[in-house]
Amino acid sequence: MSLKGKIDAVKQGRIHVVDELNKYLQKAEEAKELNAFIRLLPERGHKKAAEIDQRVKEGQPTGALAGTIIALKDNINI
């Protein structure tokens, strides 16, 4: 599925962001030996994902990239 397709599916409630986040976190855990990530912030991710899912459920507007799961380079301050 394309990024646009996923964003549309999230906004239509066909995909839940919490579920998508869990898939990505699972993949990161399975590839732990690659040392691709210094740290993961699952609590922060779950909080934001749940907020987006709730906004969709309530019919409230979401951002243009709501539900997009990303990884940031370790030198970017968040």
Task: Indicate whether 16 belongs to any domain.
Answer: yes
The reply to whether 8 falls in a domain is yes
Is residue 24 a part of any domain in this protein? yes
Q: Is residue 72 part of a domain?
A: no
What domain range is 37 assigned to?
A: 3-58
The rounded distance, in Å, linking the Cα atoms of 53 and 43 is: 15
Asked whether residue 11 is assigned to any structural domain, the reply reads yes
| CB contact at 8 A, 62 and 56 | yes
Q: What is the pLDDT at residue 71?
A: 85
Instruction: State pLDDT tens for residues 53-78.
Output: 999 999 999 999 998 998 887 766 66
Interval 24-34: pLDDT, tens: 999 999 999 99
Structure tokens at 61: 């507007």
- The count of domains in the chain is 1
